[in-house]
Structure 1
Amino acid sequence: MNNAHTTNKVDILKKYQVENADILRGVFCSGCGSLPMTRKKAKWICHHCGAASKNAHLEAMRHYSLLIGNTINNRQARDFLQVNGIQIAHRLLVKEQFKQIGNTSGRRYILRF
């Protein structure tokens, strides 16, 4: 039986013929739209307008979820958010309480918004 309430996941990149390498990476500034913001002392700082945010990464994670998929590992998070350091990415993913699947190097986080 087909459930009318299920949604079909459309591969956006394939549908619009966009390569994964063509996706802009980093955290956008909500104030001026500049890319990328830099993570310093638990805040995202925009070098263009000086805006600061503690949770600017959430919008980037939403974009990742829509464009690439709803699971992410630490390496993918570092690449997409443009942060250095395994611990920084880990803290951001754990802070948002994304459900974790797997252990150690095989751990993935389910992005639910």
Structure 2
Amino acid sequence: MDVMKFIKINPDTTLTGVHCPQCGSLPMIYHWGLWRCPVCKTTSDTAHHQAVEDYIYLIKPSITNAEFRKFPHLTSVFSASRLLGQMNLQHGGEKKNRYYIKP
């Protein structure tokens, strides 16, 4: 089911980024292995989990490294790959065609 079409929301108008688990502000900044909130200064190493779940639920049932980097505003291919790999997601494809799905 395409949730975005069902509730009539244009995907281009959605706010992207990682929400702060403490204060809910958007976006958190990823630096040196931690997500940091610029508002309340909270740090988290797993704050991106909710962002990935939101993407999979709202946008489409799989996510690639490039899509993941765009959604939470990451620039590093390697950081994105490491973060996705730590989430116990099922994956398919090889190298540039790798995608991740929720088990």
Match of 2:69 among 57, 67, 78: 78
> Equivalents in 2 of 1:88, 1:76: separation in Å?
13
2-side partners of 1:23 and 1:89: how far apart? Answer: 21
Partner of 2:35: helix, strand, or coil?
strand
Other-structure match for 1:69: 60
Structure 1 runs of 4+ off > 3 angstroms? none
Match of 2:20 in 1: 29
Q: Tell me, in whole angstroms, the C-alpha distance in 2 between the residues paired with 1:85 and 1:41.
A: 12
Structure 1 position 89, deviation (Å) = 0.6
Match of 1:56 among 25, 47, 54: 47
Q: TM-score, normalised by structure 2?
A: 0.95
What is residue 100 of structure 1 aligned with on the other side? Answer: 91
Distance 1:62 1:93 in 2: 11
Q: How does 1:41-52 map to 2 (within 5 A)?
A: 41-52=32-43
RMSD between superposed Cα atoms in Å: 0.9
TM superposition shift of 1:97: 2.3
Identity of aligned residues (%): 33
* TM-score with structure 1 setting the length: 0.87
Letter of the 2:35 partner, please give it: W
CA contact (8 A) 1:26 1:80 kept: yes
Structure 1 runs not aligned, ≥5 long: 1-9
CA distance in 1, matches of 2:8, 2:102: 24
Letter in 1 for 2:24: G
